[in-house]
Chain A
Amino acid sequence: MKEKIRNFIVENFLFGERELKDDESLFESGIIDSLGLIKLLAFIDEKFKVSIDMSEIMIENFNTLNDIMETLKSKGSPS
């Protein structure tokens, strides 16, 4: 799951031009913005059938790849 999400971010936001570290901030480094987060959540919803509640959509829950995995784990998704 983690690798699929990483690949999605690399392909869609980094255009395959570099790698993404687990603890790299997606927002501070400008890799994704609000619209990017929405696209990422739509991908997670569609691919892994994990729906994120509106109240959970906070930057701090999706700031790094590790944060994303923590958030998904708290929803009972396998890592």
Chain B
Amino acid sequence: MENLFLYLASLCLSIFIYWFILPSRWRRLFLFLMSLLFISLFNLKYVLYFLFHMILVYFAGLYIDRGENKKKLILTLTLVWLIGNLCFFKYSDLFFSTLIESGFGFSWMPKIAFPTLLLPLGMSYIIFRLIHFVVEVYKKKSPKCSFIDFGLYVLFFPTFLAGPVERFKPFYTQTMEMKAPDLSSINQGLFRILLGVAKKFVVADNLSRWILPALQTPESHPRFLVLLLVYGTAIQIYLDFSGYTDMALGVSRLFGYKIMENFNRPFFQRNIAMFWRNWHISVYSWIRDYFFFPFFGYRASTLKIYIGIFMTMVVFMLWHKGNLNFLLLGIYNGLGLVVWQLYQEVKKKYPSLRKWSLRSYMNPVATFFTFNFVSFGFLFFHLDLPHLYAVLVRIF
């Protein structure tokens, strides 16, 4: 909490300098330096690591933009390097510690201990922004920009820790057309920050203090309470994550930026496809645009498209965290999406089923069913398999 007050005090001071002391042409550089300073507070090595990647991607972009020969090769090498880095830091731990250290589950295999790698904070978001930038330059859809403007987009400190992964063009347009905020923007920004603080620090953190220990011992609670704990887990994860987003969007607003929304009432959606389209929107749409469409395009067979839907969800979940639980969460929701798509095909063949599913009283039923499906999936966030099994046994 002390850090939070320190952060808020520094924030107020920076906003004052940003709008009232600096001439407009220096504001971008100031925000960029602020972002570097913010990251260096966590670890100076992160700054060097990210600067190296930014220089690499910026110059790759310049080369590609000049339309030189082998621009496809440069794009490919840049993407391989970025994705390789992300996978190395994020998944080598999953591979080494989960599989090799356990001897692939076989007792006769030698057990080898590997050191744990420290994932640079915010890396998953930054690598996605870098990939987006270089691909858009290749597609000639990215405006020309200075290194400072590019760096500001990549490291923009309000969205550094937990996104959203904003797209370059809307961010850069706002940088170029920056105007002093009106009273309503400031009010909206402050409201979002307060909303985020309330969601994250008042509700979500307190809920998790109560829910998580209780979920570890489901056998000592009544069945109905355990079911409520399952629902509470989903709500806690939503409030935690969307609270961070609210704070990020609110702070961005105070610096004159309107960043994309990351959540759109996900628990009120009437099917799993709509749920995931409205949950962590910036990353889900990123994976759809840069993974699903390029690798499982419209000339693919129906089977390949279904595999694509499944894989998109697995990649989406593993992007959040490289461990077995998130792999299982991806498989669970991926299968859910495939079954839902198959159900759509069945509905086309049976008009009576379609009409029945469109009846108004089916809306709350479908929403409740979707909420239950995703809530049970969210248990993978916090529980290992034996505890998850114990919770399911207690409820059913």
Contact = CB atoms under 8 A, between A and B. Distances in A.
Interface of A: 12, 15, 17, 27, 30, 33-35, 37-39, 41-42, 45, 52, 54-55, 57-59
Given A15-B348, A15-B354, A42-B299, A54 B309 contact: no
Interface string B111-154: 00000000000000000000000010011000000000000000
Interface stretch (B14-22, B53-61, B290-298, B374-382): B290-298
Contacts of A12: 348
Contacts of B293: 34, 54, 57-58
Q: Classify the interface of chain B: helix, strand, loop or mixed.
A: helix
B309 A35 contact: yes
30 contacts: A15-B351, A27-B277, A30-B274, A33-B273, A33-B274, A34-B288, A34-B293, A34-B312, A35-B309, A35-B341, A37-B298, A38-B296, A38-B297, A38-B300, A39-B298, A41-B298, A42-B298, A42-B299, A45-B298, A52-B298, A54-B294, A54-B297, A55-B139, A55-B294, A57-B289, A57-B293, A57-B294, A57-B298, A58-B293, A59-B288
A59 B285 contact: yes
Interface of B: 135, 138-139, 273-274, 277, 285, 288-289, 292-294, 296-300, 305, 309, 312, 341, 348, 351, 354, 358
Contacts of B294: 54-55, 57
B298 A34 contact: no
Contacts of B139: 55
A58 B341 contact: no
A9 to B, nearest CB: 14
Contacts of A45: 298-299
Contacts of A55: 135, 138-139, 294
Contacts, number: 49
Given A35-B305, A35-B309, A59 B289 contact: yes
B165 to A, nearest CB: 15
Contacts of A57: 289, 293-294, 297-298
A38 B274 contact: no
Nearest to B136: A55
A20 B34 CA distance: 48
A37 B139 CA distance: 20
Given A30-B274, A33-B273, A35-B309, A58 B298 contact: no
Nearest to A57: B293
A60 B277 CA distance: 15
Given A15-B354, A55-B139, A59-B285, A34 B299 contact: no
